[in-house]
Amino acid sequence: MRGRRGFTLLEVMVSVAIISLIGVLIYGAFTGMHKARSNVSSISDRYQQGRQAIDRMSRELVAAYISNHKPTVQNQSVRQTAFIGHDQSSGDRLDFSAFAGQRLSHDSHVSDQAEISYFLADNPDTGGRDLVRRISRNIDDDVTRGGLVQVMAENVESFDVVYLDPTTNEWTATWDTLQPTAQPGRLPSQVWITLKLAGGPLGRPVKFETKVVIPIQLPLDFANK
């Protein structure tokens, strides 16, 4: 009775090579799937951030207003409402007053009026720029300062805002209700926002844009009548 023939060294080496190749292929497949999943998740986050930022700005701009109200008491603090849009090469900026403050409780003494700003800010951790939102529930004599600053979208490539002038029916890059030579005492009829976020499909930026209609275009002055 013949004994069983064992594997030769060459057969063992070929078997090991085949097993190693299969292992490499399986590892490569799982690594590729993981990278693809990470890329899809990252792109999905970009779209979610962009949509949420556009939605929030749209809701708050609809509530924009300015007022002619003046303090009736001599020592009473000044509450200056305004709508100011700056055209900047590094990213536009918009500061305005709005009925957009949210009360956290029914018995809260906080007004529904607020100062709101949108602008780009450098992110020291990523080296990029973020679209941030500033909100102050205290309307004072400076619509551009104070309050809390929050990030709405990260790694922004550009943020552009233009305004439709109802008197000319033309779009303009700036707006200022406080300057006599600009647009004193009136708001634009529409605001056109264009936001581009880095990190889209194929490395291209993701673009979001919207046109917001401003319902209250003239100053509120019923208390002065």
Per-residue pLDDT tens over the stretch 144-193: 999 999 999 999 999 999 999 999 999 999 999 999 999 999 999 999 99
Residue 168 lies in a domain: yes
Residue 37 included in any domain: no
pTM of the predicted structure, to 2 decimals = 0.77
Evaluate whether residue 76 is within a structural domain. Answer: yes
| Residue 68: other Cβ atoms inside 10 A | 14
Specify the pLDDT at position 65: 96
Q: How many CB atoms lie within 10 A of CB 186?
A: 17
pLDDT attached to residue 25: 77
What pLDDT, on a 0 to 100 scale, did the predictor assign at position 99?
A: 93
- Given a cut of 50, the residues of the chain with pLDDT beneath it are none
Query: Is residue 16 a part of any domain in this protein?
Result: no
Which token pair is 20?
Answer: 């190693």
Indicate the SS3 state at residue 215. Answer: coil
Domain count, the chain: 1
Residue 195 lies in a domain: yes
- 110 within domain boundaries: yes
For residue 68, the model assigns a pLDDT of 86
Domain extent for 138 = 49-224
Instruction: Name the β-bridge partners of 161.
Output: 193
Q: Report if residue 115 sits inside a domain.
A: yes
Query: Is residue 118 in a domain?
Result: yes
3-state secondary structure of 159: strand
Quote the tokens at residue 92: 């536009």
